[in-house]
Structure 1
Amino acid sequence: MPPLLIRFDVTNALSAEVSAGQRLYVSAWLFMPAHLPSRPTISAWLNGGTYDKRYFHAEIPGYPGYSMAEHLAARGHIVVLPDHLGIGDSSRAPRQMAVTRQVAAKANHDAMTQLFAHLREGTLHPSIPAIPQFVKLGGGHSMGGMQTITQQAAHRTYDRIAVLGYTAVGVHLTLGGQLHSADPGPLDLSKPDYPVMDRGHLRSTFHWDDVPEAVLTADDALLVPVPYVLSTQAITTGIVSEDARNIDVPIYQCLGERDVSPDPWAEAAHFRACYDYTLHVLPKSGHCQNFASTRTEMWDRIYTWNESLNASNGTA
């Protein structure tokens, strides 16, 4: 069945500088499983830069099986795909430059807090019963990985997190077969809120060589405007170093065989408070694991990793 579009008013969680007298909303797609487990996992996934929530639910004519959301929902997850504030169906702030990673994280935390309350009370939608107990899993890809780290460190929204295609070491791009730092330097607030973006030069970073041309074309069609501040912060070296050190819940981190981390095996050292860290390097995958031929390996690993934590905690 198609996802349910939901939205949450997050104005009261934000400063007057950000809202400037307007109501601001975080919108999301919700995917419900056909059969609801007694204690389901609610997994929320934040997209990366140049994408909206469709990154996790790509529908490509003639090429089924590119929806991570449908894959996890089929295995019992309640899947939530929020749009960052300023992207997709979520509100654009009157002055988007004021929406830093911390502001966007606060807005998303408020939206998820409202979602959890509605699910417990059975007030989200007439077709969804009250769900008094659930596991909270939050994750994100690329810029969404940055936002997941930022949000969890500041607000402890989730019981566990998944960081996909993002690096605490420092974002690097594969250009001409070589890794190059993507660090843009300090923010330049004279830039437009939404600069024109072209990711044509990023194909060698984003995708493995075996991705079908039709899938690459469909991926290109998913390009959306991204706020300057969020997109720039996402590639700034060291931006999440302090946040990463403060996360103490289990972490699953997946990087493609060719991805933005210059050293995947150095990532764990940044999560020093984490007592349960898992690194998964996905073979034959570029930065965008959801378009890789091996994508279901990651999706299934997320499911089994989450289930193993439930079993060890006695919540399976």
Structure 2
Amino acid sequence: MRTPAKLTASLLACCALLGSATVPTAAGQQAHPVSCSDTDLPVSGPDGPTTVHGRFCLPAGTTPRAVQLLVHGGTYNSAYWDIPHEPDRNSYQRDMAAHGYATFAMDQLGAGRSGQSASPWLLLPAAAKAVHEVVGHLRAGHVGGLAFEKVVLAGHSVGSGVVAAEAATYHDVDGVILSGITHLPAVPVLALGVLFGLRPAFTEPRFLGSDLLYFTTNPGSREWLFYHRENADPAVIAADEATKDQVSVPGMGTVAVFGIVFPVTAAIDVPVFQPVGEKDVLFCGVLALRDCSSAEKLHAQEAPYYREAAKLSTYVLPGAGHSLALHRNAADYREATRSWLRGTLGLAPEGYHPIG
């Protein structure tokens, strides 16, 4: 069980983030009012029936035919996609909705307000199955009463490994976005991150009651693990710290091996968009044998891990670290994502019309 403090913090965050908002856009563009709501969905967890919690955002007053299913990384929850500091500026979900795209950001099992299964059983197959069942809910109209014709999976970091495994196993989505990931992690940096950046989650009051193999980040470690300081807002990093979560160590291990290093992506048969931060110390640079200085160089290195049907597109966000959605210039990454949705998948914005 989570502590009352954890529950209270979650409820306060939800109250702050729920409701309608209008997100500023670039000159010459007209934002659309945003509607967000929270939903719990039944899924079959690894140790019995449970629920997945998620936040659903869309342009107010629309019935879109497509939705992005957003899957966060390790030690995060769905707040990664809707960070509470200046959400009109920093929220992936609200910005997407203001530009005509629906999103559903789920808490992975063991994180946020989703069911907390025993950590040894939260392995990659269980995580991918939960995502698969949420895809089914989205198509069946169980979220917002809208039966979506198109579902695009979008992951970040460990969540991208889960997304890749889901798409490769179930073949039930129309496109895949794998952010904050390459196929060759920087093993020395990851080892340092584990040794100095992580600790058992139960050592913090908000995770009291978690079992021994749930871990979270040490206070202050998120900044050097997940950010390029010169391009990060300290207030966003603070909000990230305040909303951080736990991750199953066995689960993270199986995702790293079978969802990232092993080329499970070779079985993905729908278009893939792979955006990373130029300064991502976990998946880019000499120690990862990955040159993330340009999209072209990244594409040449990553293309061998995909089949032709994936139509791999790559993108590099300049000056951004691992959590690229939370950097100062993240708006460029979001716009690149929308460009891919329009150009490759043919998903035009709904409820949004540019001026002129």
Specify if TM > 0.5. Answer: yes
Do the aligned partners of residues 238 and 183 (structure 1) sit closer, same or farther apart at CA in structure 2, a change above 3 Å counting? farther
CA contact (8 A) 2:72 2:78 kept: yes
Does residue 102 of structure 1 match 2:125?
A: yes
Equivalent in 246, 256, 264 of residue 277 of structure 2: 256
Partner of 1:225: 246
SS in 1 for 2:104: strand
Match for 2:164: what amino acid? I
SS in 2 for 1:195: strand
Give me the whole-angstrom Cα distance separating, in 2, the residues matched to 1:269 and 1:183. Answer: 29
**How do residues 228-307 of structure 1 correspond to structure 2 at under 5 angstroms?**
228-236=249-257, 239-259=260-280, 260-261=282-283, 262=288, 263=290, 264=292, 265=298, 266-307=301-342
CA contact (8 A) 1:56 1:81 kept: yes
Does residue 81 of structure 1 match 2:81?
A: no
Partner of 1:66: 90
Give me the whole-angstrom Cα distance separating, in 2, the residues matched to 1:181 and 1:169. Answer: 16
Partner of 2:226: 206
The Cα of 1:216 is off from its aligned counterpart by 1.8
Structure having the larger proportion of residues in helix: 2
Give me the whole-angstrom Cα distance separating, in 2, the residues matched to 1:312 and 1:4. Answer: 23
The Cα of 1:153 is off from its aligned counterpart by 0.7
State the TM-score, normalized to the length of structure 1. Answer: 0.81
CA contact (8 A) 2:231 2:329 kept: no
Partner of 1:114: 137
Do the aligned partners of residues 271 and 212 (structure 1) sit closer, same or farther apart at CA in structure 2, a change above 3 Å counting? same
Partner of 1:32: 58
Give me the whole-angstrom Cα distance separating, in 1, the residues matched to 2:81 and 2:88. Answer: 13
State the TM-score, normalized to the length of structure 2. Answer: 0.72
Give the stretch that moved more between structures: 267-276 or 136-145: 267-276
Do the aligned partners of residues 249 and 196 (structure 1) sit closer, same or farther apart at CA in structure 2, a change above 3 Å counting? closer
Give me the whole-angstrom Cα distance separating, in 2, the residues matched to 1:106 and 1:241. Answer: 19
Give me the whole-angstrom Cα distance separating, in 2, the residues matched to 1:182 and 1:279. Answer: 26
Percent identical among aligned pairs is: 22
Partner of 1:45: 70
Q: What are the superposed Cα offsets for residues 76-115 of structure 1, whole Å, 9 maximum, x if unpaired?
A: 222100111111111012x331121111110121122022
Match for 1:74: what amino acid? A
- How many residues align structurally? 285
Match for 1:99: what amino acid? L
Partner of 1:138: 153
CA contact (8 A) 1:3 1:29 kept: yes
Match for 1:137: what amino acid? V
Do the aligned partners of residues 88 and 241 (structure 1) sit closer, same or farther apart at CA in structure 2, a change above 3 Å counting? same
Do the aligned partners of residues 245 and 115 (structure 1) sit closer, same or farther apart at CA in structure 2, a change above 3 Å counting? same
CA contact (8 A) 1:43 1:78 kept: yes
Give me the whole-angstrom Cα distance separating, in 1, the residues matched to 2:331 and 2:239. Answer: 19
The Cα of 1:180 is off from its aligned counterpart by 7.1
Q: What are the superposed Cα offsets for residues 280-306 of structure 1, whole Å, 9 maximum, x if unpaired?
A: 011010111112121011101111111
Does residue 216 of structure 1 match 2:242?
A: no
Partner of 1:188: none
CA contact (8 A) 2:154 2:160 kept: yes
Do the aligned partners of residues 134 and 212 (structure 1) sit closer, same or farther apart at CA in structure 2, a change above 3 Å counting? same
The Cα of 1:149 is off from its aligned counterpart by 0.4
CA RMSD, aligned part only?
A: 2.7
